[in-house]
Amino acid sequence: MIVLGIETSCDETAAAVVTDAREIRADVVLSQLDDHTPYGGVVPEIAARAHLEHLDGLIRRAMAEAGIGFGDLDAVAATGGPGLIGGVIVGVMTAKAIAAARGLPFVAVNHLEGHALTARLTDDVAFPYLLLLVSGGHCQLLAVEGVGRYRRLGTTIDDAVGEAFDKTAKLLGLGYPGGPLVEKAAARATDPARFELPRPMLGRPGCDFSFSGLKTAVRRHVEELGGVLSDRDRDDLAAAFQATVAEVLADRCARAIRRFKEEHPQGGALVVAGGVAANTAIRSRLSTLAEKQRMPFVAPPLRLCTDNAAMIAWAGIERFRLGESDPLNFAPRPRWPL
Ligand code: KG4
Ligand code: ZN
């Protein structure tokens, strides 16, 4: 089985060709970073226009790299939501057009399901597993019991963790996108213990997260420094922020592991996914936790953590081989909880 995947829900235009033998035959991603950087964040209208301009070319490139024609495909999968509606419409319409022209099945993939199932594309991960899904718009702990079977153990009560990285980066004058820039600044820090930050939710019952207090505490430090940060201040604050996030995530995961093990005595892996899973400090903290808990730890390669179309093609394959596909009148869903 060979499937074309399309991703256009945020600021990456992406196309990929993946097989059910877990082979990524092509995986092209075009970041719109330069289009949005002057505005300090993603501008939906600019994103939608850029997807429209580049998607056809990217699909052609992916097909050429995979060495196949449209006639060789078994299905077309596109992100059907959640995300910025303009972009999702572009991807869904393109996928539907290819499906209609070639008489192929169309699969509308939930973007979060794409992140959630990536580990099964890159590694031998069986159901059930415990998933920490950390991206720009989401922060959830899920028991993944099968394709389409996600049980939420915890979620953020305010900001998503990627959002916290992005806002902190702005406060530190690091620019956009925040995650990778905070990580680089943190790596340059000389005294990561210099700034005290609160550890929201640490030790509290349940598996929910909260990050807005942390962001406020960073702002207070910036204000106390007179609003002007030296390179050293900035790097030390970035390191303090990153270490705190890693600790909070590990604490919440430790609680979720307890619940997961009670409900699934046969065990399962701890899997991390989403853009923030590209953070090396967070990966390493979670890996240590999993080792202590005697659980296998799986984190997809960095380029498959941030948005890409290989994960959409793969989620399409997972659903399609269970006999699922979507009608051509599928309506894009800007909000679509897992
Ligand atoms: O999954 P993703 O590419 O898009 C969404 O579905 O949201 O995640 C993007 C988020 C952004 O907030 C970005 O700052 C964050 O992931 N991110 C990181 C890193 N790379 C990307 N956060 C921390 N460390 C990183 N290395
Ligand atoms: Zn994403």
Task: Provide the pLDDT for residue 203.
Answer: 86
Closest residue by Cα to residue 91 from 56, 135, 125, 130 = 56
DSSP track, 314-334 = HHHHHHHTTT--B-TTPPP-S
Binding-site sequence positions for substrate = 133-137, 166, 179, 183, 279
Task: Provide the pLDDT for residue 191.
Answer: 96
User: Can 2-116+304-320 and 126-299 be said to share one CATH topology?
Assistant: yes
CA 299–ligand 1 middle distance (angstroms): 14
Q: Is 179 in the pocket of ligand 1 (CB under 6 A)?
A: yes
pLDDT tens string 7-16:
999 999 999 9
Rounded to whole angstroms, the Cα distance separating 17 from 9 reads: 18
Rounded to whole angstroms, the Cα distance separating 330 from 71 reads: 23
**pTM of this structure:** 0.96
Fold of 126-299: Nucleotidyltransferase; domain 5 (3.30.420)
DSSP track, 166-196 = HHHHHHTT--SSHHHHHHHHHHT-S-TTSS-
Where along the chain do its domains lie? 2-116+304-320, 126-299
Q: Is 275 in the pocket of ligand 1 (CB under 6 A)?
A: yes
Rounded to whole angstroms, the Cα distance separating 19 from 108 reads: 17
pLDDT tens string 286-311:
999 999 999 999 999 999 999 999 99
CATH code reported for the domain at 2-116+304-320: 3.30.420.40
Task: Provide the pLDDT for residue 200.
Answer: 86
- The strand order across the sheet containing 106-110 reads 24-31, 12-19, 2-7, 75-81, 106-110
Nearest bound ligand to the CA of residue 281: 1
Nearest bound ligand to the CA of residue 181: 1
Q: Is 29 in the pocket of ligand 1 (CB under 6 A)?
A: no
Q: Assign 320 a pLDDT band (cuts: 50, 70, 90).
A: very high
Mean pLDDT (whole number) for 209-221: 95
pLDDT tens string 122-134:
999 999 999 999 9
Q: Is 48 in the pocket of ligand 1 (CB under 6 A)?
A: no
Task: Provide the pLDDT for residue 33.
Answer: 87
Cis peptide before 128 (omega within 30 of 0): yes
Task: Provide the pLDDT for residue 177.
Answer: 83
Least confident of 31-40, 58-67, 154-163, 172-181: 31-40
Mean pLDDT (whole number) for 263-269: 95
